[in-house]
């Protein structure tokens, strides 16, 4: 198997982490979920129990120790000694993560860690700015998307399985707001790289999407 660097970008709910994990497993690669890193910073910010301001976030990120490990096909996210893998997936974290991810010093620190993790190749990294900024020399670049209705429905199912009963309409509004914030921010906005392949997953099964990604990695 080739020692490729694969970049997958796209909006919230496009199915990036689901298909990226399956494709990484098939390829025997390490999967790196960069969104989890921004979520970890958001989680640590909430732990301060203070109004969330840019100043507070910048103070939190100064000495944060975020670590991603990919073990047995699962991502383990730690902040210091705390395993936050599940804690970073709450609606509270989702509500402030775009604010966190828009701040320059936060991005500089996370991008530096992400580049180090990709140094040895055989990685599949997903996020918003992987092909455009983190790994512009990636061997394979994919922009994964789906209609907003389908993305909201996927999130609704995912949250329901976790015990959250959030109205579909509310989720659709949240996703639209996050899309807007992620696409319109000044630093490394969510945008399809010129040399990325667009993969619209609306109405396509997970297996089919994975098969298309694997075909691009031949
Ligand atoms: O993929 P996700 O929903 O877990 O990402 C959480 C947030 O982090 C999302 O609002 C966008 C931001 N993000 C980013 O700005 N850059 C990345 N490379 C990954 C995520």
Question: Is the minimum distance from the CB of 11 to ligand 1 under 6 angstroms?
Answer: no
What dihedral angle (degrees, nearest 10) is formed by the CA atoms of 79, 59, 116, 7? 90
pLDDT at position 1 is: 55
| The two three-digit tokens of residue 25, written as one number | 């497993």
pLDDT at position 72 is: 84
127 CA distance to ligand 1 middle (Å): 6
pLDDT at position 162 is: 86
Residue nearest to atom 18 of ligand 1 (CA): 127
Residue 24, classified by CB atoms within 10 Å of its CB into exposed (0-12), middle (13-18) or buried (19+), is buried
Residue nearest to atom 9 of ligand 1 (CA): 98
- What's the total number of domains in the chain? 1
Residue nearest to atom 16 of ligand 1 (CA): 128
216 CA distance to ligand 1 middle (Å): 24
Residue 53, classified by CB atoms within 10 Å of its CB into exposed (0-12), middle (13-18) or buried (19+), is exposed
The series of mean pLDDT values per 10 residues for the chain, 218 residues long, is: 91 92 95 97 98 98 94 92 96 94 96 96 96 98 96 92 92 92 92 97 95 96
pLDDT at position 19 is: 95
| The two three-digit tokens of residue 115, written as one number | 């580049």
Q: Residue 73: what are its φ and ψ, rounded to 5°? A: 75, 10
What dihedral angle (degrees, nearest 10) is formed by the CA atoms of 199, 135, 90, 86? 110
Mutation test of ligand 1: which of 10, 35, 126, 142 has the most ligand atoms closer than 8 Å to its C-beta?
A: 35
Residue 110 CA, closest ligand 1 atom number = 18
Mutation test of ligand 1: which of 101, 110, 138, 191 has the most ligand atoms closer than 8 Å to its C-beta?
A: 101
38 CA distance to ligand 1 middle (Å): 6
In this structure, what CATH number is given to the domain that contains residue 128? Answer: 3.40.50.300
Give me the domain span that covers residue 127: 5-216
The widest CA-to-CA distance across the chain, in whole angstroms, is 49
The whole-angstrom separation of Cα 211 and Cα 44 is 37
128 CA distance to ligand 1 middle (Å): 6
Question: Is the minimum distance from the CB of 34 to ligand 1 under 6 angstroms?
Answer: yes
Containing 198, the helix (H) or strand (E) segment is strand 197-200
Residue 101 CA, closest ligand 1 atom number = 15
pLDDT at position 124 is: 97
Please answer whether residues 136 and 9 qualify as being in contact, where contact means their C-beta atoms are separated by less than 8 angstroms: no
186 CA distance to ligand 1 middle (Å): 15
34 CA distance to ligand 1 middle (Å): 7
Please answer whether residues 4 and 140 qualify as being in contact, where contact means their C-beta atoms are separated by less than 8 angstroms: yes
């Amino acid at each position: 198997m080739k020692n490729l660097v694969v970049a997958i970008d796209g909006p919230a709910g496009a199915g990036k982490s689901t298909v990226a994990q399956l494709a990484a497993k098939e390829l025997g690669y390490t999967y790196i979920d960069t969104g989890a890193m921004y979520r970890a910073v958001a989680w640590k910010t909430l732990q301060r129990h203070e109004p969330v301001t840019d100043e507070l976030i910048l103070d939190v990120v100064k000495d944060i120790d975020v670590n991603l490990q990919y073990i047995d096909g699962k991502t383990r996210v730690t902040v210091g000694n705390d395993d936050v893998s599940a804690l970073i997936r709450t609606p509270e974290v989702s509500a402030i993560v775009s604010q966190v991810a828009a701040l320059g010093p936060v991005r500089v620190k996370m991008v530096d860690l992400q580049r180090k993790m990709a140094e040895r190749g055989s990685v599949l990294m997903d996020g918003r700015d992987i092909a455009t900024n983190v790994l512009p020399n990636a061997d394979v670049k994919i922009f994964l998307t789906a209609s907003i209705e389908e993305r909201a429905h996927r999130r609704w199912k995912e949250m329901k399985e976790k015990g959250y009963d959030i109205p579909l309409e509310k989720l659709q509004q949240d996703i639209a707001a996050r899309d807007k914030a992620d696409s319109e921010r000044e630093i490394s906005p969510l945008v399809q790289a010129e040399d990325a392949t667009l993969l619209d997953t609306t109405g396509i099964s997970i297996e089919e999407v994975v098969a298309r990604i694997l075909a691009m990695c031949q």
